Structure 1
Amino acid sequence: MTPASIRSQESLGRVHFIGIGGVGMSAVARIMVARGVTVSGSDAKDLPVMAELAAAGARIAVGYRASNLGDAQTVVAGSAIRADNPELVAARDSGLPVLHRSEALAATMGDDVVVTVAGTHGKSTTTSMIAVLLQGAGLDPSFAIGANVPALGVNAAHGASGIFVAEADESDGSFLNYRPKIAVVTNVEPDHLDYYGTAEAVYESFDRFTELLPEDGVLIACADDDGALALAERTKARGTTRVLLYGTSDRADLVLHDGGPGHVEVSSAAGRFALELQVPGRHNALNAAAAVAVALELGVDAGAAARALADFSGASRRFELKGEARGVRVFDDYAHHPTEVRAALTAARSVAGTHRVHVVFQPHLFSRTREFAGEFAAALNLADTALVLDIYPAREDPIPGVTSQLIGDHLASGGRLVAADEAVAALVEAAGPGDIILTVGAGDVTSFGPQIVQALDG
């Protein structure tokens, strides 16, 4: 995707959202309504967020019809909207500008100090942490996050501080549509090869992302991740942008000291401070360090920044507790890349202690399964029980010869393929008091958590 010129919010006029019920689309719509834009929108289903938007002043329709466009002057279309959608067809036939969600979001940022969070993993959690931290430190940031955040109550809001915190998605190159002053990169790994084609193209896109930073901007990158560290070094070599590293490495400017739950600290030139974290795992400790680094750049007192994270309880579908029954805790996680699956299971191990961990995993995309089958199996083998469902196709058509069996071929003795209608019963039978059950994947496996809790109760 070629970087777009940033439109002003005023130039958009009346804005219509096709697919307004999606978590990302509704976030932009919510901010636009709060900033005085006339907003309308539609979605195939009547989702709860649509009632919230209607109450805030948006005109909402259920179902797609060309007439829903009304007198819109700009159209924003969600990435899942098909080319033959009647509203999209009508917009193009009428010559209306059709924007990607990221272009619309960028238009709302105006003259705010923009903080964007990019990376192959951890974007939603890190963005959430930054927003929670800044609120807790007395600032009032605007924010847009790709997941709901209980501590914030919403995933997007208009704030009065002149600071805008946003998750920047690299999956389709749309993170190049922002103009950040502070850019966080949590990690860089090959993913979304259905879009990029090669690992080299992924790395190049992150280079282009850091090139968007102004001379007085800063790249905040994780020194513990090889890809992010290499990106930082390339950015330093250009000599046009300041680079700040965080992590456990002695190369970091802000050093994470991770002694496990209750013993996490960060140190920088401002001193050494304890972090009170409710969320488990080394990856979350690193995300917290990134959030503190951003806060320090924005002038927040280091002690206040460290204390503010105590209010962060996680983001939706990021190691989210779905319930507990019969002494078994059930968590759900959006992980859909091998590194994410490994991080989720490592966190589950730390929570389970001496007890067992059971996981049901739903691969997401045929192309991703083909590229990473062995790595997925290696991560899943960290569990005592690993059940693998059929591939969730999302936007892809099947690829001949690519099935979940590619993962199954590498599973240890505790792993096997299962049909969806067998998974809940198999997990309930395997789990005992003190154990952890984890549902993992970016598809509809998230619906299994409540079913498992109910079955354990029964």
Structure 2
Amino acid sequence: MTFKGIHKVFFLGIGGIGMSALARWFRHEGYPVAGYDKTPSPLTKELEKEGMLITFEDKVDSIPLDFTTDPDEVLVVWTPAIPKDSVLLNFFQAHYQLKKRSEVLGMITKDFYTIAVAGTHGKTSTSSLIAHLLKSAGKPVAAFLGGITQNYHSNLILPGKSKEATLVVVEADEFDRSFLRLHPNEAVVTSADPDHLDIYGDEATILDGFRDFIRLVDKKGKLYLQTHAWYRLGEQVSSGAGIREYGLRSSGIHAENIIAKPGSFQFDYIGTKAQIKGLELHIPGFHNVENALVAIAISIDHGVTEDQIREGIRSFRGVKRRFEIHSSDPGRIYIDDYAHHPEEIKACLSSVRAMYPTQRMTVIFQPHLFSRTRDFAEGFSESLSLADEVVLLDIYPARELPIPGVSSAMLLDGIKAGKKILIQKNQVMDYLEESQPEVLVTMGAGDIDRLVPGIAQWMNTRTKHSQS
């Protein structure tokens, strides 16, 4: 894939997980890459080590000189997460050619056989699982992912040079209708729950968005629908592709003999083409077993053998911040998860409870977006009630301004946990010292991830001291 006349690429919002995967692809293809982001992060530091120039100042004079001499040679890739009043965004709009991240991803993948994974939850883990099963089996696969895989320490997977890829796995993001820019030969819909109502307006409109995505699937291809997603999309699902249903209790592709263990889940895969008994998945969770089902089905279709699937499932180490276990000593368990929707919280906490049924579970949750907190307040309270103790942090606003009357405190009354409290981020470590949790889960899509290394170090230090 070439971009005619383009010799340099600048990313507005280069530290975003989807943006950084594209930046890495262009860098791999030999393009000079630069970018802007609001604040430094571990990911931007990695990009800088890989040779990308990054500024954290929203000023025109912060643009590298090489990117200002001939604007016609520069492609500027931007994300709607960039505020409309951004100085750089307005400058580039006046003088450069701009394309959204989703447009560029569609351009890159258009000429490859593309497996697109959509869904309001589960798409990052599922797309990563598909890519890993194919790659570990020696298939020529590239993948653009929405998280950092533990196996490859990246959100971009390439088979040597990307031109050698015959399969591309891509995460199809419903935010801002980005997934409608793709050209899928095969597609997965892991879930279709209401979300991003600040973009879509209401539940019916986001479901129509998923139906529009489904219509993009090649008529010679395949469409995999998770049971509940298919039910939600209803009889209006229209696709020329062959539809296959999957789910834990599906009548189609499903799992049997699921056993929850500390640190892993064991299950049998039951599909139309194969049955594989005694699989061991080391990223725990009932939802992850479900994600594995569709990854296995797709892998079988692409010639991956039973032995290769068994080894691929066993060796998959998951994605950072997706049910990531930082401490596993009995009585001192620490799990971090990206969950930021009531259904994701329910899936995570139900699995934690199955793994550690007799231990006290403490959850620290940072809501993400004022609009999402307002729209799903009742659902958040209900899902968080699965914990014994709930600690709420203030809402992470992301791209939004505050909404009057909307705060984390509005969730407290509906939470049925035995103990519930609202604290500030800078009070978390003192609270942990006081409460000494047995099973701790941190959750959220905001900057709660900045607390994770310190909590993990505290938990592991506490573990060592207790053993000495």
Does the C-alpha gap of structure 1 residues 425 and 324 become closer, same or farther in structure 2, counting only changes over 3 Å? farther
Cα distance in 1 for partners of 2:318, 2:134 equals 15
Deviation at 1:78, TM superposition (A): 2.7
Provide the C-alpha distance between the structure 1 equivalents of 2:453 and 2:82, rounded to a whole number of angstroms: 29
Residues 158, 165 of structure 2: 8 Å contact kept: no
Which runs of 5 or more structure 2 residues have no equivalent in the other structure? Answer: 463-468
List aligned pairs for 1:203-218, cutoff 5 A. 203-218=207-222
Report the aligned-residue RMSD: 2.3
Separation in 2, partners of 1:370, 1:45: 27
- Aligned partner of 2:17 in structure 1 is 23
Gaps in structure 1 of 5+ consecutive residues: 1-7
Q: What per-residue deviation string (whole Å, max 9, x for no partner) do you get for residues 192-241 of structure 1?
A: 11111110001000000001112112111112x1x334437533xx4622
Name the counterpart of 2:182. 178
- For 2:413 and 2:53, the matched residues in 1 are separated by 51
Name the residue aligned to 1:256: 255
Partner residue in 2 for 1:4:
none
Match of 1:5 in 2: none
Q: Distance in 2 between matches of 1:390 and 1:239?
A: 42
State the SS of the aligned residue for 1:329: strand
Q: Deviations over 1:351-373 (max 9, x none)?
A: 32321211011111111111211
Pairing partner for 1:452 from 449, 452, 455: 455
Aligned to 1:120: 120
Give me the whole-angstrom Cα distance separating, in 2, the residues matched to 1:258 and 1:38: 51
Please state if 1:321 is matched with 2:325. Answer: yes
Question: Is 2:401 the counterpart of 1:389?
Answer: no
- In the alignment, structure 1 residue 145 sits paired with structure 2 residue 145: yes
Paired with 2:149 and 2:119, the residues of 1 have a C-alpha distance of 19
1:101-150 Cα shifts (integer Å, max 9, x gaps): 11112222242111111101111111111111111111131111111111
**1:231 corresponds to:** 233
Alignment of 1:82-121 (within 5 A): 82-94=83-95, 96-121=96-121
Distance 1:306 1:270, change over 3 A: farther
The change in CA–CA distance for 1:338 and 1:20 in structure 2 (over 3 A counts) is: same
Partner residue of 2:444?
441
Aligned residue in 2 for 1:429 = 434
Aligned length: 443
Q: Is the counterpart of residue 380 in structure 1 residue 379 in structure 2?
A: no
Of 262-271 and 423-432, deviating more is 423-432
Q: Percent identity?
A: 35
SS in 2 for 1:342: helix
Residue 420 of structure 2 is aligned to residue 419 of structure 1: no
Shift of 1:409: 1.1
For 2:374, the equivalent position in structure 1 comes to: 370
* Structure 2 letter corresponding to 1:424: M
Report the AA paired with residue 139 of structure 1.
Answer: K
Deviation at 1:43, TM superposition (A): 3.1
Distance 1:222 1:448, change over 3 A: same
- Do residues 200 (structure 1) and 194 (structure 2) align? no
TM-score, normalization by structure 1: 0.90
AA at the equivalent of 1:136: S
SS at 1:394's partner residue?
coil
CA contact (8 A) 1:292 1:302 kept: no
Q: Distance in 2 between matches of 1:401 and 1:43?
A: 30
Distance in 1 of aligned mates of 2:210 and 2:23: 27
Which amino acid in structure 2 is aligned with residue 140 of structure 1? P
Query: How far did 1:59 drift?
Result: 4.7
